[in-house]
């Protein structure tokens, strides 16, 4: 066996795999969007298996609260860009492949350019705007999207937009969820997530990519695998063989105004801003920097608390829920100046 293949000897020995399948992996280019709980194990196993080019897209930085499930990072990485840390670590794991960090936020303005050079995309995101954006871009560009989602003890995996033999495409995310109200769905920070679930679902996503590239087995196209970590049971839900959607253009990404912790503290000192906490009651009891308090799903019921001409800085643990709150105010109260605290309370404490 060629010395370069010794590393992969166990998978090359698989029935029906061989050196030809390994060469397919070597020639493949895979983009992992979201270097978090799902993206870390996905990228790690893709790199280990010998995928020739692995791109990692994430504009976020490492925080302490990430470490229980985002296994590529350690405490010394806090504050550093996830994509860069992940690529550096995986390059050491496998020097024979190419790692490409993408540190700009994925938006409607750059998503087509970012995914253009890749064969397949892993969706490891944790917000619905980016998930829909990736889905739509995948459809327009003819790229399969490997979907993964986790919450508490349950995870989901599917492969969207796979080309069928008759020239049609398999269902995509909008076939399953035409529209989602993100303010009504708690995230992992609010509802929690068992860390091992992230590893399980992330590995399943990597497995679907390997199957797709090597044409081995049956990928989860037209169906969704639902896994329960408490019972260790899974079921597959069939959603059809062909998409029923008609996606012709990308929806423009909302521009969410942000403010740094330093700027927010200056504003507080000068009495020019007011803080608004959109975390849960339990989170606020544990740590409180002041301001009004409404959980994210309560903001819409309290719009009369916000005055035109005033400036409000919404905050949560990471900046994701506060961004949703700012989007809501932009839609409902355009006369109110609203900002999301960049990086959430993690940046506040670091500052």
CATH number for position 262: 3.40.250.10
Same domain, 169 and 276: no
Segments of 189-265 assigned E as strands: 223-228, 233-238, 258-259
The active-site residue, picked from 40, 87, 169, 316, is 316
Same domain, 13 and 72: yes
Q: Are residues 186 and 263 in the same domain?
A: no
Contacts 24+ apart (CB under 8 A), 126-130: 126/34, 126/36, 126/37, 126/187, 126/188, 126/320, 127/182, 127/320, 127/323, 128/180, 128/182, 128/185, 129/182, 129/253, 129/254, 130/33, 130/34, 130/106
For position 31, which CATH number holds?
A: 3.40.50.720
Q: pLDDT (tens digit, 0 to 9) for every residue of the chain, 351 residues total? A: 555 678 999 999 999 999 999 999 999 999 999 999 999 999 999 999 999 999 999 988 888 878 889 999 999 998 789 999 999 999 999 999 999 999 998 999 999 999 999 999 999 998 888 999 999 999 999 999 999 999 899 999 999 999 999 999 999 999 999 876 555 555 555 567 889 999 999 999 999 999 999 999 999 999 999 999 999 999 999 999 999 999 999 988 777 899 999 999 999 999 899 999 998 888 888 888 999 999 988 999 999 999 988 999 999 987 878 988 998 999 899 889 999 998 888 778 776
Q: Residue 147, CB half-sphere, CA atoms under 13 Å: how many?
A: 32
Alpha-carbon separation of residue 118 from 111, 160, 220 (angstroms): 12, 15, 20
Judgement on whether residues 315 and 222 belong to the same structural domain of the protein: no
Tell me whether residue 251 is in a domain. no
Residue 316 annotated to the active site: yes
Contact status, residue 208 vs residue 120, Cβ threshold 8 Å = no
Chain-centroid distance of CA 351 in Å reads: 26
- Tell whether 43 and 120 lie within a shared domain: yes
Active site residue 203: no
Q: Is residue 21 part of a domain?
A: yes
Q: Residue 103: phi, psi to the nearest 5? A: -100, 0
Mark whether 321 and 194 lie in a shared domain: no
Question: Could you give the number of structural domains in the chain?
Answer: 2
Domain that holds residue 200: 3-238
- Catalytic option among 40, 87, 169, 188: 188
Report yes or no on 41 lying in a domain: yes
- Do residues 289 and 228 both lie within one domain? no
Say yes or no: 94 and 201 in one domain.
Answer: yes
């Amino acid at each position: 066996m060629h010395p370069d293949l010794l590393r992969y000897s166990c998978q090359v020995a698989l029935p029906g795999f061989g050196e030809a399948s390994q060469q397919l992996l070597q020639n493949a280019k895979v983009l992992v969007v979201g270097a978090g709980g799902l993206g870390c194990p996905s990228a790690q196993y893709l790199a280990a298996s010998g995928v020739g080019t692995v791109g990692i897209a994430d504009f976020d930085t490492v925080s302490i609260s990430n470490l229980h499930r985002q296994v590529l990072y350690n405490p010394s990485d806090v504050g550093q860009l996830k994509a860069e840390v992940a690529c550096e670590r995986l390059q050491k794991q496998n020097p024979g492949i190419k790692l490409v960090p993408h540190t700009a936020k994925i938006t409607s303005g750059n998503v087509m350019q970012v995914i253009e050079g890749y064969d397949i995309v892993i969706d490891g995101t944790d917000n619905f705007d980016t998930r829909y954006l990736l889905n739509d871009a995948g459809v327009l560009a003819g790229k399969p999207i490997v979907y993964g989602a986790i919450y508490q003890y349950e995870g989901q995996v599917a492969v969207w937009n796979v080309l069928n033999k008759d020239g049609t495409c398999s269902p995509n995310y909008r076939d399953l969820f035409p529209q989602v109200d993100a303010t009504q769905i708690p995230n992992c920070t609010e509802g929690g997530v068992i860390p091992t679930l992230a590893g399980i679902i992330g590995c399943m996503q990597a497995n679907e990519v390997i199957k797709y590239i090597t044409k081995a087995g049956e990928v989860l196209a037209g169906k969704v695998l639902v896994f329960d970590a408490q019972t260790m049971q899974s079921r597959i839900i069939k959603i059809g063989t062909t998409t029923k959607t008609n996606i012709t253009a990308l929806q423009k990404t909302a521009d969410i105004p942000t403010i740094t912790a330093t700027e927010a503290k200056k504003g507080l000192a000068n009495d020019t801003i007011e803080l608004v906490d959109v975390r849960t009651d339990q989170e606020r009891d544990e740590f409180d920097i002041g301001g009004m308090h409404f959980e994210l799903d309560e903001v819409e019921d309290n719009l009369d608390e916000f005055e035109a001409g005033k400036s409000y800085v919404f905050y949560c643990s990471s900046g994701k829920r506060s961004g949703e709150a700012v989007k809501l105010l932009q839609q409902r109260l355009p006369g109110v100046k609203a900002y999301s605290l960049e990086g959430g309370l993690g940046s506040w404490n670091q500052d």
